[in-house]
């Protein structure tokens, strides 16, 4: 009798601390590709990949902004990074469970901030912003191949005389926060 009680107690204890099963919202059973594609129909592209490449110096394999979908000159931007298994970091991070490295998520946010900063007064065409610091980073979930990383950055301070910018950033996957950066600092190379 005592062992039965102990078994029931241990099962109850284990189930009390088990993570709840994730809930997923699936498209309608017979959704077509056209219907699923229409879910993003209202999202316009402000800067295409080609236009982003005219602003940023980054190239494969380190170009981490695929397009910009919202832009407020000198203030903020929302950009997209499609995560694909074909990216070189996934061969070793990790071979049996590919995860986008956290530092690359931060770099993607920094590049998006660069799209804003490199178009501000005081930034000459062809200028380069260097990443000078980062504080207050919090990762909330893994970013994996197949995800769409939707990033937003806000420029919080710009000192054109010194070529110094500060920004905050967040990135989401499926509407859920994946990474948050409290402060990024950039220095304009002169």
Active-site residue list? 93
- Rounded to whole angstroms, the maximal C-alpha distance in the chain is 81
Torsions phi, psi for 33 (to 5 deg): -60, -40
**Whole-number Å distance between alpha carbons of 123 and 120:** 6
Q: List beta partners, residue 153.
A: 77, 169
**For residue 148, is it left (φ>0), alpha (ψ between -120 and 50) or beta?**
beta
């Amino acid at each position: 009798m005592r062992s039965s009680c102990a078994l029931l107690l241990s099962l109850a204890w284990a189930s009390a601390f088990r993570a709840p099963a994730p809930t997923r919202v699936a498209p309608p059973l017979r959704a077509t590709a056209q219907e699923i594609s229409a879910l993003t129909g209202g999202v316009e592209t402000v800067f295409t990949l080609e236009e982003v490449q005219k602003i940023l110096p980054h190239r494969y394999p380190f170009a981490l902004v695929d397009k910009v979908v919202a832009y407020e000159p000198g203030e903020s931007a929302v950009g997209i990074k499609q995560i694909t298994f074909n990216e070189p970091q996934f061969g070793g991070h990790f071979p049996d469970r590919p995860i986008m490295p956290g530092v690359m998520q931060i770099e993607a946010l920094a590049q998006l901030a660069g799209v804003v900063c490199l178009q501000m007064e005081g930034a000459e065409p062809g200028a380069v912003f260097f990443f000078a610091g980062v504080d207050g980073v919090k990762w909330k979930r893994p970013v994996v191949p197949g995800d769409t990383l939707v990033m937003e950055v806000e420029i919080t301070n710009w000192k054109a005389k010194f070529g110094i910018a500060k920004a905050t950033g967040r990135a989401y996957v499926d509407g859920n926060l994946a990474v948050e950066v409290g402060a990024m600092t950039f220095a304009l190379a002169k």
